[in-house]
Structure 1
Amino acid sequence: MASLTSGNASNGTTLVNIVHGTEPELVLFLVLNMWPSHFGLPILLAIILLSKRVRRHPTFVNLCVGFIIIGVASSVLLYAGKTTGDEPPKLLCLIQASLLYGVPAFASLLAFMLVLQMFFAVRSAVQKQVAQGPQTFRLWAMLGTPYLALLISILATATVGSANPDTVSRNRRYFYCSVESPLLSGTIAAFGAVFLFATIVFEVWTLVILYKNWMVVRQPGAKPRVIVELSLPIRVLAFGLYVIMAMSLSLLSMKAPESPVPDLVIACAATVVILIFATQPDIIRAACFWRKEPELTFPTTGTTQQLNSKV
């Protein structure tokens, strides 16, 4: 471990390791980032894009693509063979730091857009609104805003790091490169907190809509206005809850970053996506393409398929 805390002798500065991680935790961090981004999520995306039986809203596809990008960015030092030992070259370190400092805003917005789309879909189903044509501006705004936030974060971090190269290091955060700048970290934390709060608001709002509709269905002698298939909304809301918890830990770690737990919890995000969404029945049926589709013995309303296509 001495090589991880010894600093960079070439520029005469001592780089303090503020995250108290271990080598097994470093391996775990890399595995959690690499297996879903290099294997799990590409397979899930291939099933969604190539199967005629699976429909998902572009915000969900965007979420998968986003976490592939995050996993690749987290693995940059491994590609270069610089996860341990002497400090990586400053340019390489700044590239990774710039990418990863965009993750709080990027991931928060990806999750927020998915939860927001779930809210629109559930509200439309409960109110039995007539299907509307494609809302192109709203769709592109929901897809593009996370990447705009990522780009702004990358440029801001690169500017700060270039102006203060001594603040750029790997040893400071142990798992990845970072830039020591309280102003930059505080701005990122504030931005992420805004969208975490917005995610909570729409999660609660969606739950209220589902609860009210569920109570209508359960009332004795009452005719239900609509039956909403709850599997997908519950999965989306569960993922939103996980993101809120994980990003909150990440933002708190900027104030008390000694523990490696926040970084490891964030690294689990892509795995959580796969566990929650890749276990949906239509995904499993599409993945098991060699199995014969079972014949339905009862009529279906298409509610599940409509909700899946809207989220």
Structure 2
Amino acid sequence: MNVVGLLMTTLVLLPALLSPMVSRTSTWMALMASSIFYSSSYLLLLPIGQRSVAQPGYGICLFQASLVYGAPVLVSFAGWAYVLQLYFGLAMNISTNKMYLLRINIMLLVTPVVMACIMFIVSLAVGAQSPNTVTIDSTRRYCHITSHVPRTTAAILIGLGTAGMMVFEVLLSMHLSRNWVTLKKVTDGEISIFAWYKFGRIIIFTIFPFGAFALNIGGLFSSGTTNDKWNILLPIIPLGAAIIFGSRTDIIYAWKMSYKAEATWNIYEDPKPVCCSCPHCGEEFDTIPGSA
């Protein structure tokens, strides 16, 4: 499931990076990249051949354990940054101030990385101080730390990121509800429908970081052991992100075009998406001619 999640999130991110017909915000791409990192952190032992040994080397085991605790923190704050960028763009209408918008975007991109690094350093410190707590889990899938300190810290940070998402989702829903009529008049209904459509995906995605938070809370009351029933829930974050954000028409269309015989896209033969730019958040969203 982690391999599938890694492949799916990569397939979702690539069109946004390479295709001229798919445009996404920087925080959206950071969210997809964090999901790729999340899956990769659990698969580290596989390509280096350490899953077949009785006990992986201490250094690589500690490194992976630190990644495993930092990855859900990165995803939760990347999700918070994505929601916050949408809030600033739609609710505060600051897109006209490019310098202010650039500073906010930099902050939103840096914050998740900083929080994940804090979690990584805490895990490294605990594992270095108590090497006997660093071990492969009972199902031999990945390394973890049996101490409660990393799980407690991760639960707190994930909880903060998830709570931040929920707070700004409530504020956004209030803003969209109050300004529904105005948005509809100004944009002939296009932006209002687009905003609710996009907002709905974000609300659904919030379930997955919240699930990671619940898993960490559950881990606080466990003895530090894991099992298959527990581990099968871990890949839901990248899988959920890939399904929710990768089902957009323009991404599917970009992959469809890539499999055609032409080496380059011919604007005279193939229908191109009609690109519309949101005047509030600045993000471009695509509609395919003849599609819903």
**Normalization by structure 2: what TM-score?**
0.79
Match of 2:5 in 1: 36
Pair 173,204 (structure 1): closer, same or farther in 2 beyond 3 Å: farther
Rounded Cα–Cα distance in structure 1 between residues aligned with 2:69 and 2:85: 26
* Structure 2 counterpart SS, 1:35: helix
Alpha-carbon distance, 1:260 to partner: 4.6
2:84 pairs with 106, 113, 116, which one? 116
**Structure-2 separation of matches of 1:105 and 1:235:** 20
Q: 1:162 Cα deviation (Å)?
A: 1.5
1:276 aligns with 2:241: no
- Which of 97, 111, 114 lines up with 1:145 in the alignment? 111
Structure 2 residue runs of 5 or longer lacking an equivalent are: 261-268, 286-292
Letter in 1 for 2:2: N
State the partner residue of 2:49: 81
Which of 40, 59, 66 is the matching residue for 1:98? Answer: 66
For 2:254 and 2:273, how far apart are their aligned partners in 1? 15
Question: For 1:283 and 1:67, how far apart are their aligned partners in 2?
Answer: 17
Equivalent AA in structure 2 for residue 83 of structure 1: R
CA–CA distance in structure 1, aligned partners of residues 199 and 66 of structure 2: 34
Q: Cα deviation per residue 1:20-55 (whole Å; 9 max; x = unaligned)?
A: xxxxxxxxxxxx222332x33333222112222211
- Name the SS for the 1:266 alignment partner: coil
Moved more, 160-169 or 278-287: 278-287
CA distance in 2, matches of 1:171, 1:259: 8
Q: Tell me, in whole angstroms, the C-alpha distance in 1 between the residues paired with 2:12 and 2:253.
A: 12
Structure 1 stretches lacking a partner, 5+ long:
1-31
Aligned to 1:189: 155
Could you tell me which of 93, 96, 112 is aligned with 1:131? 96
Matched with 2:218 is 252
Give 2:263's aligned residue. none
Q: Point out the structure with max Rg over C-alpha.
A: 1
Give the superposition deviation at 1:169. Answer: 0.6
| C-alpha distance in 1 between matches for 2:215 and 2:134 | 23
Report the Cα distance in structure 2 between the residues aligned to 1:301 and 1:68, rounded to whole angstroms. 28
Corresponding residue for 2:14?
46
Query: Would you say 1:293 and 2:271 are equivalent positions?
Result: yes
Whether the aligned pair in 2 keeps the contact of 1:169 and 1:179 (CA below 8 Å) is: yes
Please, what is the CA RMSD of the aligned residues? 3.0
**Contact 1:93 1:168 survives alignment (8 Å):** yes
Matched, 1:267 2:235: yes
**SS of the counterpart of 1:169?**
strand
1:286 to partner: Cα distance:
1.9
Deviates more, 1:148-157 or 1:171-180: 171-180
- Specify the SS of the correspondent of 1:150: helix
The C-alpha deviation readout for 1:247-291, integer Å capped at 9, x for no partner, is 323333332365655543331211211211121112122222248
Q: CA deviation at 1:77?
A: 1.5
Report the alpha carbon displacement of residue 305 of structure 1 after superposing the two structures with TM.
Answer: 11
| AA aligned opposite 1:119 | Y
Q: Which residue of 2 aligns with 1:179?
A: 145
Give aligned-pair identity as a percent. 23
Rounded to whole Å, the distance in 1 between the matches of 2:89 and 2:185 is: 18
In structure 2, the CA distance between the partners of 1:252 and 1:258, relative to structure 1 (3 Å rule), is same
TM-score w.r.t. structure 1 length? 0.75
